[in-house]
Amino acid sequence: MTRIDAKFAELTANSKKAFVAYVMAGDPDYDTSLEVVKGLPAAGVDVIELGLPFTDPMADGPTIQLAGQRALDSGVTLERTLQLATEFRKDDDTTPIVLMGYYNPIYSRGVERFLQDAKAAGIDGLIVVDLPPEEDDELCIPAQQAGLNFIRLATPTTDDKRLPKVLQNTSGFVYYVSITGITGAAEAEAVDVAPEVARIKSQTELPVIVGFGIKTPETSRAIASVADGAVVGSAIVAKIGDGEPVDDVLAFVKSLADGAHST
């Protein structure tokens, strides 16, 4: 059982919804990023999504693209991202960390070496948005054999024919993308999300967490009420990008987490 599995078992036992927060590793610099990440559990975050900086983040909108650029400019690489996770683990051995990014940096490092290093750094799961199920032998299956969850995205365009393929080797949870388009664009609507979550849950026992388009505590609550939890990324990253003090960023995160947990 991974930390992700254990966390969702605990939440289910307590009839609680999950709140997942995304931040870009190394944004705006390594030290500030580590301070934010270390503060997330106390702000109510159940699962941390740690963005892996990459030069061509095709699924991401301007907010997260700029965060990735700031991180790259400050010298944060895959190596430094894993160091950040290692530093976090010195004080927290329970909060799950999902590394979210693109395949190129992993491929460059070599899959076997990457999986060993990620496991040693305390990474629990992977979201690699540009590896479809047809490429499961490339990373998904080796990751699961190494004890890491491989989390897949389902979207409004994932029809009933495609969904079983998407779910086939997914573990940890299913990430439902609430809108068509890039991160940080439109606003998620619970009325649209609810039937899609029900459709996915009819085909899997895994928790279904909803992300993209959640920017306020009210939306976090509304989305969590029709799913197993909510993910917020761009709204948090925007505050970091604006140079807000870490305490203010974490206070905002807590308001979002309180929203998701109030259902």
Q: Which of 5, 27, 46, 49 is catalytic?
A: 49
Q: Which of 5, 46, 60, 196 is catalytic?
A: 60
From CA 87, how far away is CA 224, in angstroms rounded?
30
Q: Is 93 a catalytic residue?
A: no
| Rg of the chain, C-alpha, whole Å | 17
From CA 38, how far away is CA 122, in angstroms rounded?
14
- Longest CA–CA separation in the chain, Å: 47
Q: Is 60 a catalytic residue?
A: yes
Residue 58 vs residues 23, 62, 68, 102, 130: alpha-carbon distances, Å: 17, 10, 12, 9, 9
Residue 170 vs residues 36, 141, 167, 212, 254: alpha-carbon distances, Å: 29, 10, 5, 19, 29
Catalytic residue IDs? 49, 60
